[in-house]
Amino acid sequence: MIYITRSHMRIIFIRIKQPFCVVQGEPSVLFTIRSKNLKTHNGEVSFPGGKKEITDPSLSFTALRETNEEIGIRPEDIEILGQSTPLPNKDQTLKVYPFIGFIKTPFENIIDEIHFNKDEVQGVFTVTIEELLYSEKKQWKRLGNTNLTYPVFQASSMVGIEIWGLTAFILDTILRRLTVPPLTTEIKTFMSGQ
């Protein structure tokens, strides 16, 4: 884990992997639900990821290592497509470096095919990119008594599950880059292997 002191603030660098995948022929995004046994953010929707260890040679290595530790997908089965803009958490104590990856092996039944670490992950689910881009599942909610708003996505495959917080900010940032129709078509073609 790396700590940098700046103005008496500890900043912990975290790598998150936003995994794109294909489920039943549909380009999708894979999410995890954090274990209820974790000290922080337990039971919340997230992407695989975690803190950089001193022995990790790079941030992308950390993202791949953490994905393997949490949901059992080997680094060689993931193609890193790029890195999104780093974001701080709400307390400004963490800086998150999101990597976007494509899981090369398509899934038919994600629940049966992902063998996740039950100490860290309570469950996994996917939402199709089409649903995330074009449905009414995205809302903007007001942050407390401020004029600031934040995105919240409803996961229709998981009744009552909301994608919010930093996970929703990262997701929204990536989805905004996919909203140009030709780019969306190219990604759908790439992810379907055609």
Residue 99 has pLDDT above 80, yes or no: yes
Domain ranges within the chain, ordered by starting residue: 3-192
Between 143 and 100, residue with greater pLDDT: 100
Closest by CA position to 45, among listed 176, 157, 184, 174: 157
Residue 9: what pLDDT? Answer: 35
Beta bridge partners of 162: 154
Q: Which CATH superfamily is domain 3-192 in?
A: Nucleoside Triphosphate Pyrophosphohydrolase (3.90.79.10)
Window from 46-55, 60-69, 87-96 with minimum mean pLDDT: 87-96
CA angle 89, 4, 68 (to 5 degrees): 65
15 band by pLDDT with thresholds 50, 70 and 90: low
Element (H, E) at 129: helix 129-134
- 103-137 per-position pLDDT tens digit: 888 887 777 788 888 888 888 888 888 888 876 77
6 band by pLDDT with thresholds 50, 70 and 90: very low
Residue 188 has pLDDT above 60, yes or no: no
89 band by pLDDT with thresholds 50, 70 and 90: confident
Side-chain-facing half-sphere of 26: CA atoms under 13 Å: 15
| CB burial of residue 67 (10 Å; 0-12, 13-18, 19+) | buried
| Contacts of 20 by beta carbon, 8 Å cutoff, 6+ apart | 27, 28, 29, 30, 81, 100, 101, 102, 103, 129, 187, 191
| CB burial of residue 178 (10 Å; 0-12, 13-18, 19+) | middle
Closest by CA position to 13, among listed 45, 44, 58: 58
Residue 125: what pLDDT? Answer: 87
